[in-house]
């Protein structure tokens, strides 16, 4: 297991298009998190799954954002009708219960 894997690593899209990011957590981890990081800021919490259940969504996550974790394994984060303000690094992390979070390398979104 090479750790948390995220794809694609970089996505450039035009405003108004939809994008989807995928996260494959460490296989035995039951928790999965999405964070967003913009330039000069620390990571900001977006949402969290315990197995397949999405237990919290930050108010940062507008209606254009949706995240899923079918079967409690990989997760997808979809952004509809992208805006320039969505440009950021989207980080995925996983953990076994309340243990240490392991982060992926991130998916960088650039909205033109």
Closest CA to 111 of 62, 44, 47, 38: 38
Among positions 75-94, residues that touch another protein (CB under 8 A) are 91
Does residue 101 interact with another protein by CB under 8 A?
yes
CB 95 within 8 A of CB 31: yes
Q: Determine the Cα–Cα distance for residues 11 and 52; give it in Å rounded to an integer.
A: 26
Does residue 59 interact with another protein by CB under 8 A?
no
Contact range with another protein by CB under 8 A, out of 16-24, 64-72, 80-88, 97-105: 97-105
Q: Which residues pair with 1 in a beta bridge?
A: none
CB 104 within 8 A of CB 33: no
Does residue 98 interact with another protein by CB under 8 A?
yes
- The single residue listed with the structure tokens 């507008």 is 62
Cis peptide upstream of residue 32 (ω within 30 degrees of 0): no
Residue of the chain from 2, 14, 42, 53 that contacts another protein (CB under 8 A):
42
Site string for another protein, 22-41 (x = CB under 8 A): ---------x-x------xx
Structure tokens at 106: 């991130």
Residue of the chain from 55, 62, 64, 85 that contacts another protein (CB under 8 A):
55
- Which residues are near another protein by CB under 8 A? 3-4, 31, 33, 40-45, 48, 50, 55-56, 91, 98, 100-106
């Amino acid at each position: 297991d090479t750790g948390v894997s995220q794809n694609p690593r970089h996505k450039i899209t035009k405003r108004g298009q939809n994008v989807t990011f995928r996260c494959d957590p460490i296989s035995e981890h039951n928790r999965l998190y999405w964070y967003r990081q913009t330039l000069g800021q620390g990571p900001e919490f977006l949402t969290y799954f315990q197995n397949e259940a999405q237990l919290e969504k930050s108010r940062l996550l507008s209606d254009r954002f949706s995240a899923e974790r079918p079967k409690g394994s990989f997760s997808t984060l979809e952004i509809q009708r992208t805006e320039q303000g969505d440009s950021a690094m989207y980080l995925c992390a996983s953990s076994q219960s309340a243990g240490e979070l392991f982060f992926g390398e991130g998916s960088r979104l650039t909205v033109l």
